[in-house]
Structures are given as C-alpha cells and as structure tokens.
Chains A and B, each alone.
Chain A
Amino acid sequence: MRVLVIEDDQETASFLKRALKEQGHVAEHAADGQTGLELARVNAYDVLIVDRMLPKLDGLAVIGALRAEEIRTPVLILSALGEVDDRVKGLRAGGDDYLTKPYAFSELLARIEALARRTSPEEGSTRFVVGDLVLDRLSHKVTRAGEAIMLQPREFRLLEYLMKHAGQVVTRTMLLENVWDYHFDPQTNVIDVHVSRLRSKIDKNFATPLLHTVRGAGYTIRDSAH
C-alpha cells in the first residue's frame, strides 16, 4: 500500500513513516498543504493521511482541491479537534474517515487498511464468504457449513461489517461508528460483549474459529485454513 502522510509535525510524521514501513507499506511525507496537494495530484496513492491544521494550505482545503479535480483517493483526516461537529465538517469537506489525536497506531492502521480496501469490487457484492461461513445480504441469511444461523438484526450488521473487511483488523471504535453510528466513548467494553455473543453463534460448534481477537487492536474475521 502506498501512503502519503501530509503532516507538519516532523516527529509525528517520522513516527508514522517508520511504523507504516514496519507494516510493509510505502510511506511518503509532505510537510505542508501545498506540497502535499502537488504530490497527491501527481502520484497514485492508495490512501492519504491528512492533518487538519497545516501550513500554507490547511487540510480541509487540500481535500477540497483534490475532490474538485476528481481525484478520489481515500483520505483519513487526523485532527486534534475531536468533537462531533468537527468530524462532520471534515467528512463534508470530502474526507472518508476521521481520527482524533492522540490515537493508537493500531487504530490508524486498521482504518487506512479499511479505506484502501473500500475501492475494491467487494463493496457492491451481495454475498460475503469467509471459509464455510456465508452471509447473503439480500435474503439476510447466514449459514455456516450449510447450517442456518439465526442472528439478531444488529448481530447481522456486525457480522456483515466484519466480513466486508475480512482479513483486515477492525477496531472497536470502527465497529461502534459503522455498525451503531455512535461517535462517542461508551465507557464500558460493550463492543467486546457484542462480539463474543456473535462469536458464540458462528464459531461455537465448529472446529475452526473464524472470528479472532487481535490483541491491543480489535477483531478480524478470516479463514485460518488459508
């Protein structure tokens, strides 16, 4: 994955570059909005990580300029402004996701991987398949090894989101935001309990577990046989 980091704080930028490289990604860096915009115009990146407050041209203006030129590269906005209103402003400006500083790197990584995958054809498919687990988005039916699994509507959407991002790490915050549409901290480990309920329905009576916990990051659904 080729990532452009537009961030004026040198230390944050080099931390991000190093961490992304450790994960096997190619990371480039622009220290101000103007340079960032020019790089994003010329090169094909999979994801842009844009700080909201930048010298020369602020983050939202960079995104606005790119979108005006029909450059649809997914953008993750990084900002110290974390209120709901700020978020909405960022997404309206053309950002695809919003992460508040300070953040855990695992959270950022999971989000940019989800963003880069968004452009894949799986987005529009009506069936998700992971191993012998099948989710049909049209008939709202879930089967494992041909056996029907009964899920509550919310459990269905939770599984659907996990399967759409199969093989990727999905964080608790991402689940809370995308499955429940809540952008606040629920104080308690509510998501964990929901996931463990789902796990008991899809994994309990089968030999190979599909839903895995990624320590310190979140969850992932994948067929471990592969």
Chain B
Amino acid sequence: MTALTKLFRTTTFRLSLTYLALFGAAAAVAIFYIYWNTTVLLTRQLHDTIDAELKGLAEQYSAGGLTRLVSTVADRSRTPGNSLYFVADAEGRRVAGNLSAITEELSQSLGPVEFEYSRPAEGGIETRLAFANVFKLPGGYRLIVGRDIEDRRELARVIRSAMLWGLGVMALFGIGGGYLVSRNLLARIDAVSATTRTIMEGDLTGRLPVNGSGDELDRLSQNLNLMLARIEQLMAGLREVSDNIAHDLKTPLSRLRNRVEAALREPYAEPAYREALERTIEEADGLIKTFNALLSIARLEAGAAGDNKESLDVSELVRDVAELYEPVAEERGIMLKADAVGPVYTRADRQLLGQAIANLIDNALKYGAPDRTESANGVVPEVSVTAGAAGSMAEIAVTDRGPGVPAGERERVLGRFVRLEASRSEPGSGLGLSLVAAVARLHGGALRLEDNDPGLKVILSLPTEAQPRANGSAKQAAPGSELRPA
C-alpha cells in the first residue's frame, strides 16, 4: 500500500491525472456541443415538417371543410412514415388518423406537445416518443399533427453511452499509462536514491545508474556522476594531505621537541639556552612556512581563492620575477636569462601567478645546476625563463641544465611533499611544484614537465585573454609611492 501511495505521489502520476482531467473535460464539452447542435437542427426540421403538413391540411379544410380534412388525413395516414395524424370528435373519439388512441393528457392540451404513444411492433406493442401540434376545430373537433421522434431519443442515448464509454476508456488508459510511466520513473529514481544513500554512508565509490537512453534523467545522472568523481578525488586529496601532514610535519615537530628537551636536561648556561631557543624559533618558522604552503594549496584546490583576478601581461610578470631572482642566480654562479618580450595577456591573480613563477625559478636555481664537477669545465650553468603564446594558451617555460627529472617521476613530483632523492640535501618542503600545479588548475591552465636534454623544462600554460580589460590595480606604480592593493 505504501508503494502505491508513493506511486500516486509522484509528479509523473499527478501530471497524468491532471492531463486526464483536462482532456476528459475537453472531450465531454466537444461531445455535448455536437449533441446540442444536432438536437437544435433536428428540432427545427421537425417544426418545419409539421408546419408544412399543417399548411396543407389547413388548405384542405378551408376548401372542403371537415369532411375533406378527414378524408385527407385518412389518406395520408395510409402512407407509412414517421408522420402521425389524429382527428378527434368532441368526445375524444377517433375520426381519422394513424394513432390508435390518444391519452387524456393529449386530448386536453393545445399547441406543441411531446407525448408517448404505442404502436404495434414485432412481438408486441412498443412505446415511442412523439411530438405534435394540437389544434381545435369548430364543433369540438381536434386535429393532432405530429412526428415520431423516438430516433432522436435513440440518438441522445447513443451519444450519452458513447460519452460514458469514451471517458471511461480514456480514464482507464490515462491512469494505467500514468501508473506504468510513473512506476518506471519511480524505479529509476529509487535506484538513484539507493545509490545516494550508500554514498551518504561514506562509500564514495558508488555511481548512479545510467541506462544509456540519453534522456534527461540519464544526463542528470551522468553529470552527478562526474560531480561524484570530482568529490571523490577531492576527498582522496584531503586524505592524502592529512597523511602527509602526519608524516612531514611530525618529523620537524619531534625534532623541535627533542632539542628543547635536550637543552632542559643540560645544566643552565645562557649561551646554550639561547642557541637552543633560536634553533627552536627557526624550526617553528620552517613549520609555519610548510603549514602555510599546505593551506594555500588546499585552498587553491578547493577553488576558494582567486577572487582578485585581473588582466595582466604574463611577459611583464615573468620579467619582474626574474629580476627579483637575478642577483641570487648571479651569486650562485648561474646565468638567469629572461626571454619574455611580446605582451601576452591572461586573467590571473598577480600574487598567485607571481608566486608560481617564483617557485619555478627558485626550483631551477636550487636543483637545476649541474653537479659542481661537471660545471668545472668552464660552462656557465644557465636557467632560462620564457613567456609566449602558443595557440590560445600563454606559456611560461623555465628550463635548466641540471640533472632533470626521470620521465617516470614527472607526474609524481607534482604531488605534495614529493622530493627526489637527489634533492634531499637542499632545503625545501616538496610543496613548491604542487602549489604551481594548483595555481595552474585554478586559472584553467596546466603544468607539465619535459626533458630539456639535458635538464628539465617546466611549462606552465594558462588561457590567454585576447582583449586586455582595464586594470583595477596599479601594476607599475610611480617610483616613490608605496605599493598597496587598492
């Protein structure tokens, strides 16, 4: 019963019922209209016929009086048909006509009247409906001229039953069809509900059934499935991050704790205490940095950043950031070349994109220098940064001549906390490239690693913007003015 109630409550079923009611009403009105018009037409024909008969009889009467009228009536009564005649004397007895007898009611009335009469038929006597006009003649005589209208009654009956049957069948099909369609739909919705329940219980691998018909429910399911896939991916990311936090933040934390504990175990000596405290602050600062980077990546991946996007020239930003790192490169004996000439516009958050470019250059300077032994042969190690347009994408490429990243590891190094063995000696958290990848994704771009043979080529691509929009914030403020976001 509950299943049936549920079915009746479905939108489809209610919709079927509504349509059924509307359609039924329309059909009933149409049939009634046809019936009504037919009746009016038939009544007019009836009146015309009776009037014509009366006219004829009136002529006979005025020409030959009652005798002539009676003989004419008797004459006409002999021809079979639907016409009815009756001439009665003052006592109501039949003088002529094809009606066998008249009722008391009929004999008393005058003018148009509807009545029932009997006539012999196969296997007895049948009662039929008739319509007549009653006239009084001088001497108490009465003339009744009418027609049999039993056919009309029959027609009304036929139409009425047709209407009842029609509506009945329609209701049956309507409700039945609605039931079937609703049941089908309900079954699919139930399947979807069942899946969502399993997902709510924590099983994110569940997917909504898609039957391949391509209808709206299928398309909805497909889109919801895509959404579920994205959620699953995000959840997996989150789990991965918590695992990583456990691994990579606990280590420095326990190091910090051990150092403080060790210092406390020692007898009091100010220089030693001071040094321990300074090291502790350093370690804490490192932890804060790592933590901030993790939070930034998480926010970027959740799409919760980038409200401050503006039109900017990628080339200009690349030159700007390269300029920031140029002295560092020089100090390390690396030649940093920036080749970014033509303006390439994109819509981006200047701070985020700036940080991404900075991370790439910083990585190249840290890990992109060839081994000291190799660079001894007079070749100056080189890191180059370029910006340009490739199709509809702006590409920022940072290349170095270092050891590179093996092809199999290229996907992996974009993950959080991933550091290749060779780079363990350099300080770093292993979050730099993940942050760049997250910035790229937030801006609808991508990050890919290629072989520079020798060395590594990192390409950050972002969708270009054809027409630079008016810029809200000053990119290049006049020297001397403090730069602050507006």
Enumerate chain A interface residues (CB-CB to B < 8 A).
82-85, 87-88, 91-92, 100, 102, 104, 137, 140, 153-154, 156-157, 160-161, 177-190, 193-194, 197
Contacts and interface: CB of A to CB of B under 8 A. Distances in A.
Given A82-B292, A193-B331, A178 B483 contact: yes
Given A84-B349, A88-B485, A157-B479, A182 B328 contact: no
23 contacts: A82-B292, A83-B305, A85-B307, A91-B484, A91-B485, A104-B285, A137-B479, A154-B323, A160-B479, A160-B480, A178-B482, A178-B483, A178-B484, A179-B483, A180-B324, A181-B350, A184-B351, A185-B355, A186-B324, A188-B365, A188-B366, A190-B328, A193-B331
A183 B295 CA distance: 15
A197 B325 CA distance: 13
Interface string B99-139: 00000000000000000000000000000000000000000
B354 A83 contact: no
Given A184-B358, A186-B358, A161 B328 contact: no
A188 B292 CA distance: 16
Interface string B354-366: 1100110010011
A84 B323 CA distance: 22
Nearest to A177: B483
Contact of B351 (A84, A178, A179, A187): A84
B308 A88 contact: yes
B177 interface: no
B66 to A, nearest CB: 115
Contact of B358 (A85, A88, A187): A187
Contacts of B296: 83
A187 B432 contact: yes
Contacts of B333: none
Interface in B432-446: 432
A187 B362 contact: yes
A118 to B, nearest CB: 9
B184 to A, nearest CB: 49
A142 B295 CA distance: 43
A47 to B, nearest CB: 16
B9 interface: no
B483 A156 contact: no
B354 A182 contact: yes
A120 B482 CA distance: 15
A189 B292 contact: no
A18 to B, nearest CB: 17
Contacts of B350: 181
Given A84-B305, A100-B292, A181-B477, 18 more contacts: A82-B295, A85-B305, A85-B308, A88-B308, A137-B479, A140-B479, A157-B480, A160-B479, A161-B482, A178-B484, A180-B324, A182-B355, A185-B289, A185-B355, A186-B324, A187-B428, A188-B328, A193-B331
A178 B485 CA distance: 10
Interface in B355-413: 355, 358-359, 362, 365-366
B469 interface: no
Nearest to B278: A216
A91 B482 CA distance: 14
Contacts of B365: 188
B288 interface: yes
Pick from A88, A184, A197 the residue with the most CB of B within 10 Å: A184
Pick from A100, A179, A181 the residue with the most CB of B within 10 Å: A181
B368 to A, nearest CB: 13
B328 A193 contact: yes
Nearest to B485: A88
A177 B482 CA distance: 9
Contacts of A186: 324-325, 358, 362
A130 B299 CA distance: 45
Contacts of A88: 307-308, 485
B352 interface: yes
Interface in B286-308: 288-289, 292-293, 295-296, 299, 305-308
Contacts of B284: 102
A183 B366 CA distance: 21
A153 B485 contact: no
B308 A84 contact: yes
Contacts of B168: none
B327 interface: yes
Pick from A137, A156, A188, A194 the residue with the most CB of B within 10 Å: A188
Contacts of B432: 187
A84 B327 CA distance: 26
B482 A187 contact: no
Contacts of A104: 281, 285
